[in-house]
Chain A
Amino acid sequence: MSKPESAKVVVVGSGVAGGLVAATLLRCGIGPVTMLEAGSHIPMRDRRTWLDYVMRGVLPYDHLYDTPEDVDASGTSPWQLTGGRLIGRGGSTVHWGGWTPRYRPEDFCSRTSAGIGVDWPISYADLEPYYCQAEEYLQVAGDSKTEPYRSKPYPFSNAPYPALMGPVMRALKDSGYDYQAMPIARNTRSIQGMPACETTGTCDYCPIGARFTGDQPLDRLARSSEFTLHLEAPVCTLVMDKRSRVAAVEYVDRKRGEVRRIEAEWFFICSGALEAPKLLLASTSTYWPQGIGNDHDLVGRFLTASPFVYANGMIPTNPRRLQAELSFPTLCSRQWDSPLYQRQGKMLVAVNYNLPSVNLGKRMNAHATRAEVDAATIGQMHYQLWGSLQGANHFENRVEPASGETRFGLPRTKISTPIVEFDPAVAVAHQARLGDLLRVMGAQDVSAGGYPQRGDHAMGTTRMSRSDADGVTDDRLRVHGVDNLFVASNAVFPSAGAANPTLTLVALILRALEAFC
């Protein structure tokens, strides 16, 4: 091993959490910061890369997902991680959709309000000011008149609903259900050097950076002499010099093929709800023989993620030639994301924003004539409704390191989910609700189902608690019993809501970092 490096702060992971931690600490004069990322560079806002996506459907991060060989999954519905998280510079927000709804007040007290899971050590009211800051940070556009309560309006107003949402809105209204704009991390106007959304409809790879992605803060950080980012640098272990203090991290410099060590005062694990507990569990020592923070066998436990269900339906004709003209969601319904449904399992409803669609290029390449393509544009319309469900946290469901290494140099992942994460009967009932809406829209051939769990929104594996007997981190994300180690990840969520978690994560981090600034 070569001579140790040193920094004031070490951040493990370069995603939305890591970038926020590094940027905030440096702004508060706490540096230098060294960030370690297991994955590699991803070309962003690159015109040739964008053309390859438009002309061929190839994305520059397709090779950065887990493969089936990277995971040992078992349980009632074994997880299939491929496509769920992205290991590269900027992390999973490089591929995310930018959905940024808040958790609702009851999500923070599910034990008290519904008798399930555990209460968070903080309330919605505690987090509300930080939600406002998080919406600023992620450049969220939304409808400020909608619930839950907010003390400040959204930074941007939402995009007007596109025409193809008309039938969905009428069906919701006719059924007596509410809907609202889906909050989205996209620039309605230019901000922080990034331009306004130009509706290129290629949101999986925005050519101009109008959607927040985790690489953008890193680009700004790169201008600072106090910031260093090591790519292809998987962290192996945290080194303790006493039970309450981390002294260093050891990582593999894959470019040089050697193990290196960085000493620092503060350590932030920002590598997601799967890698964060794996690193704690791998960091065994005489001080923490079962892994850091794991005296009560809670690290890696309570794994869950939002189960995702859908319903499909076909509307026979499309005389107005309605077509998906935006590539991001504009509408959601929180009708079933309410206290009334918390005990059985909540659902946030969204609409597949890539449908209905006629892929003109594909048909032309299949040698369809102009008349045949024209006929398709006024033919049947495929609508799909999505339901993001509130996963349940069970002690038995867990993640831990498996034997062997991935191509990123990280330990392979073992995921065990022996307890079902969502009552199948309730999931079927939610699917039926989606199907009923499609029928109100006039859809035929309605079908419904659920997607395999990819762990896109994995959480719960180092959950926050008031004491180490109930969880791994405190309400400021510090690992119980260790003064200088923090987990900034969905891993700290004590229980799940139906909404997407990233906005809540950013708000939690902003709250935790307040103590440093």
Chain B
Amino acid sequence: MIRWDMRSWLGNEQELRKSLHSRHRHPIAPRLPVSPKEETTAFWHTPEGRARLAHAPKAALVDLPTTLDAPLPPRLLQPEVPGILREEDKDIVLRCWGRIAERWATVESIAMTAVGLNDVLDLKTREPPSYYTEYMLALRIYRALVPTHGDDGALDALLTCSEPSGTAGWHVQTYFVSELIFLQVSVAGAFSSFGYVNYPGWTGGSYNDPDHLPYRVASDT
């Protein structure tokens, strides 16, 4: 039985905050090399939290479609199948991340590095419920769109798709694009380009120093 250790979480948080407050902007931030793993990692729930079983045999992915209108059941695909995105897969996610920032002109406000984004992607694909299959679906559709739409056009097709529930496009919108947008707006700090000082999901900092408050204060208090 493995207990989640508060110290390790705080350690990660400190690292995350360091990356959050880094002035590196993601489009030019260097990517860390990521070693693809042959094995996957399986998890199960215990009364004390998540436990980990390393080196479980890799489960097979379902046969994923390549078009946005292909039918798929409207629920998270294979949440029990963990995985780690390959470097070239993460690169596409990063380009999609950048395209979101360009589309809504938030590039200058983003304080999450590629390292920080990789960290989030690993958490989303390695830990249950795993998004690994959802990411692989989005990437597969993207690659199928590139020959006809070009790189940016394929990304735009993902960002603007509005297919109904029960389609691959719904999956891409719900589990890939939508979550990246929410991540970018909040945790990554894009909200600040809209004139806000703090926002749900942003680690603003402590309010115990009245000279450095992480939010706007009422003027007549």
Residues in A lying within 8 Å of B, measured CB to CB? 40-41, 43, 45-48, 51, 54-56, 159-166, 169-170, 188-189, 193, 195-202, 207-209, 219, 231, 321-327, 358, 360-361, 364-365, 367, 370, 373-374, 377
Measured CB to CB, the nearest residue on chain B to A50 is B201
B221 lies within 8 A of chain A by Cβ: yes
The CA-CA distance from A256 to B41 in the complex, in Å, is 28
Contact A43 B13 (CB under 8 A): no
* Cross-chain pair count, CB within 8 angstroms: 162
- Which of B13, B50, B185 interacts with A207 by CB under 8 Å? B13
Stretch in B21-29, B87-95, B173-181 with 4+ CB within 8 Å of A: B173-181
Q: Which chain B residue shows the least CB distance to A369?
A: B104
Q: Check if B207 sits within 8 Å of A370, measured CB to CB.
A: no
From B45, B47, B162, B178, name the one whose CB has the most chain A CB atoms within 10 angstroms: B47
Q: Mark out the residues of chain B between 39 and 62 whose CB falls within 8 Å of any chain A CB in the assembled complex.
A: 45-50
Q: A47 CA to B50 CA in the complex, in Å? A: 12
Nearest CB in chain A to that of B205: its residue: A198
Q: A163 to B9, Cβ gap below 8 A?
A: no
- Residues 181-211 of B at the A interface (beta carbon under 8 Å): 181-183, 185-187, 190-191, 194-208, 210
B218 contacts A169, C-beta separation under 8 Å: yes
Rounded to whole Å, the gap between the CB of B169 and the closest CB of chain A is 13
Interface residues, chain B, with chain A CB atoms under 8 Å away: 4, 6, 9-10, 12-13, 16, 45-50, 100, 103-105, 120, 123-124, 127, 160, 162, 173, 177-179, 181-183, 185-187, 190-191, 194-208, 210, 213-221
Given A188-B207, A201-B199, 4 other A-B contacts at CB below 8 A? A51-B123, A198-B204, A361-B185, A364-B185
A40 contact set on B, CB distance < 8 A: 47
5 examples of A-B residue contacts, CB within 8 angstroms = A162-B217, A163-B216, A188-B208, A323-B196, A325-B198
B129 CB to closest chain A CB (Å) equals 8
What is the distance, in angstroms, from B202's C-beta to the closest C-beta of chain A? 7
Is B218's CB under 8 angstroms from A166's CB? yes
Q: Are A196 and B206 in contact (CB under 8 A)?
A: yes
> 7 shortest A-B CB distances, which residue pairs?
A201-B200, A325-B198, A163-B216, A325-B215, A199-B204, A321-B195, A166-B218
Do A47 and B218 touch (CB < 8 A)? no
CA distance A370 to B195 in the complex (A): 13
Considering the chains assembled together, what is the distance between the CA atoms of A364 and B6 in angstroms? 35
B220 engages A373 (CB within 8 Å) = no
Minimum CB distance partner of B221 in chain A: A161
Among the listed B10, B162, B201, which residue makes an inter-chain contact with A195, where contact means beta carbons less than 8 Å apart?
Answer: B10
Please determine whether A165 and B205 come into contact, CB atoms closer than 8 angstroms: no
Expressed in whole angstroms, the minimum distance between the Cβ of A385 and any Cβ of chain B is: 16
Q: Is the pair A54, B187 in contact by a Cβ cutoff of 8 Å?
A: yes
Determine whether the beta carbon of B9 is less than 8 Å from that of A361.
no
CA distance A150 to B192 in the complex (A): 41
* Known A47-B13, A373-B104; contact A163-B218, beta-carbon cutoff 8 A: yes
Q: Are B199 and A323 in contact (CB under 8 A)?
A: yes
- Pick the contact of B194 from A159, A322, A326, A374 — CB < 8 Å? A374
A373 to B104, CA, bound (A): 9
Most chain B beta-carbon neighbours within 10 Å: one of A163, A170, A361: A361
Closest Cβ of chain A to B118, distance in Å, is 13
Tell me if B218 and A165 are in contact (CB < 8 A): yes
Task: Name, among B46, B105, B218, B219, the residue most crowded by chain A CB atoms within 10 Å (CB to CB).
Answer: B218
Chain A residues near B201: list those with CB within 8 A. 54, 200-202
Given contacts A41-B45, A46-B4, A198-B206, contact A365 B221 (CB under 8 A): no
In the assembled complex, which residues on chain B have CB atoms less than 8 Å from the CB atom of A201? Answer: 198-202, 204
B182 partner residues in chain A, CB cutoff 8 A: 54-56, 361, 365
Once bound together, how far apart are the Cα atoms of A195 and B9, in whole Å? Answer: 12
Is B204 within 8 A of A200, CB to CB? yes
CB neighbours of B217 from chain A (8 A): 160-163
Residues in B with CB closer than 8 Å to A207 are 13
Cβ contacts under 8 Å, B120 to chain A = 51
Set of chain B residues within 8 Å of A322, measured between Cβ atoms: 216
Question: How far apart are the CA atoms of A370 and B48 in the complex, in Å?
Answer: 44
A48 and B124 contact, CB distance less than 8 A:
yes
Considering only CB atoms, which chain A residue lies closest to B213 in the complex? A160
Residues of A within 8 A of B103 (CB): 370
Given known contacts A201-B198, A364-B185, A46 and B205 CB-to-CB distance under 8 angstroms: no
Q: Within 8 Å CB of A195, what residues of B?
A: 10
- Measured in the bound complex, the distance between the Cα atoms of B9 and A45 in whole Å is 8
